[in-house]
Chains A and B, each alone.
Chain A
Amino acid sequence: MSIENKVFSGDTLKVGYRFQRHWDNSMAYAFFCAELGAGLYFVSMLLGSMIGMIAGLVVVSTGKPYFHLAHMGVPGKSWRAMLRPDRSWISRGLWALAGMVAFSVLYLLCLAFGEQFGIRPDSALLWVLQILSGAFTLAVMVYQGFAMSHSSAIAIWSSAIMPMASLLYSLVVGVAVVRVLLPAPQAAALTGSLELLLLGLAVMHLMLLHSGWHGSPGARTSIELLLQTLYAKWFWGAVVAAGIVLPALLLWFAPSSAAVTVIVAVGILAGFMAWRILIFKIGVYEPIMSMNPFRSANT
C-alpha cells in the first residue's frame, strides 16, 4: 500500500490520518538547541575545553528557553511546568535544565576563579560539581526523546529509538562542534570517535525505518511520508547525505584540515536540524475508527 492510497483528513471532517500540528518548528528548534548545547557541554567537559563548555551552556540556556517560550500559549505561567516531575517528562526536563545550568555555572566559575578562593583543581568540590553538572546534562541530552516516546498517540514517536536518537545526536553534534573549537591535534584525535558515532547514527536511522515500516499503521504511514513525499528529498539530502554520508566520507578520505573539520560540523548540524523538523512533520494520528469493511489495517 503506497502513500497515495491513504486518506489524510487534515482539517476536513473525514475519517483519516491527521498530521501532528501541535508541536511546530519552534519546538523543533528548542529540541535542537537543547541537544546541541548539552552535547557540546558534555563532550567539552570530558575533554576539558572551557570555550566548548561555555558555548554549550550559552546555547542550551538561551536558545532552548527562547524557542519554548515562543511556542508556549501562556509563557507567563511557564514556571508551572516544574510542578509535576512525578509524571511528566516535560517537568522532569525543566528540572534537568535548571540543574544543568545551575551546576554548570558553578563548575565553570570554580574552574575559572576557584584558585583565588582556595579551590584547587583536584578538590572534592570541583569533582562533585563536575559529576552533578554532567549528570544533569546527560538528562537534558536524553529527556526530549523520552517526552516523545512517552506518547502513544503518535506511533512513530512511541518507540525506545527516540531517547536513543536524542542521546546519539547530542553526542554527534557535541563531538563535531568541539572539534572545530579544539586545536588541530586534539581535533584529529576525535576523528575515530566521530566515525563510530556516525555509524551509530546510521544504524539508528535504519532501526527507525525498519521498526516504523513493520510497526503499527500510524508508524508505517509516517515512514511512507518520510520516504515517498516531498519530505524524502530532505531526508535523503539533508539527514542522510549531508548529515551522515558526507561527513563520514570526509573523515575517512579527506586530509585533515580546518576547512574539512568545519564542513563536517556544518553538514552534521544541517542533518540534525533537518531530522528534528522532519520527525515532527511526519507524526500522524491514526484514524479514530473506520466502518469501511474494505479498508485494510494499513490504509
Chain B
Amino acid sequence: MARMGMVFDLKACIGCNACVVACKQENSLPDGVFFTKTLSEEYGVFPLAKRVYIPTICNHCEDAPCEKVCPSGATHTREDGIVMVDDDKCIGCNSCAVACPYDQRTQMDAEKFLKGLYGTGEITPFEEQGYGRYTPGTVTKCDFCSQRVDVGLDPACVVTCPTNARIFGDLDDPQSAPSKMIRERHGRQPLPEKNTKPKVYYVN
C-alpha cells in the first residue's frame, strides 16, 4: 500500500502564497482558516539580510498524536497514510489541536461561515456551495486533497506551485519524486524530537 507524503523544496519556494490560495479555493475554506501556510523568517542585517519561506501543512504523521488523543475516533489514518477527520464523528473538543506539535488544526466556528470570505456577512455562491461540506464546530485540517488523490490527481497546492517547491507522491516507492528528493538532498522532518514521524519533509 502507498504511503503518501510531501517534500518542500525550501530553495525553490518564493513565498508567492499561490498554494495557500489554491488550497482555500479547493477546500472552500472560510475567512481565517488555512490548511497550509507559508511562514517567513528574516535574519542577518543589511546588506546581508535574508528572508526564507517555510511552507507548512498537516504532516500526516505516522505516529499521529492527534489520532491518539481523539476521544471519538473522528481522526483516523487511511490505508495510504493520509490522516483524515470524520466530520460526523468529531465533537469539537480540540484535544487534537493541543496534541499537534505543528499547530495544524483549526476549529470551524459557526461565525466563520456567517462572516463570509470578505467579512461582510455576505456569502457568495462559491462559498455557499463549498461550506456545505463542513459541520460548524468541528476541528479540521489538510487531508492532502484526498478527493483529488482518490482520482489520481495531486493536491491543489502541489499543482498550483509555480516553482515546483511542493512534491507529492508515494514515500514507499523508492523511484517516486519525493523519495528521490529526500534521499538525494537529505530531507529532514519538522520537529523530529516529537517522535511523530511526519510524512512531510523539507530539503534545502
Contact = CB atoms under 8 A, between A and B. Distances in A.
Interface of B is mostly: loop
Contact of A150 (B41, B69, B109, B139): B69
Interface stretch (A37-45, A151-159, A269-277): A151-159
A15 B202 CA distance: 15
Interface string A280-291: 000101101111
Interface string A52-85: 0000000000000000100111110110111110
Most buried by A among B71, B95, B102: B71
Given A151-B69, A289-B191, A74 B92 contact: yes
B40 interface: yes
B71 A94 contact: yes
B98 interface: yes
A12 to B, nearest CB: 9
B89 to A, nearest CB: 6
A299 to B, nearest CB: 11
B43 A153 contact: no
A71 B136 CA distance: 13
A272 to B, nearest CB: 21
B141 interface: no
Interface residues of A, number: 45
A293 B204 CA distance: 13
Contact of B71 (A83, A152, A216): A83
Nearest to B105: A22
A285 B108 contact: no
A30 to B, nearest CB: 11
Given A78-B91, A90-B71, A22 B39 contact: no
Interface of A: 9, 13-15, 18, 20, 22-23, 68, 71-75, 77-78, 80-84, 87-91, 94, 147, 150-154, 216, 283, 285-286, 288-295
Interface of B: 10, 37-41, 43-44, 52, 54, 56, 65, 68-74, 89-95, 97-103, 105, 107-109, 135-139, 188, 190-191, 193-196, 202, 204
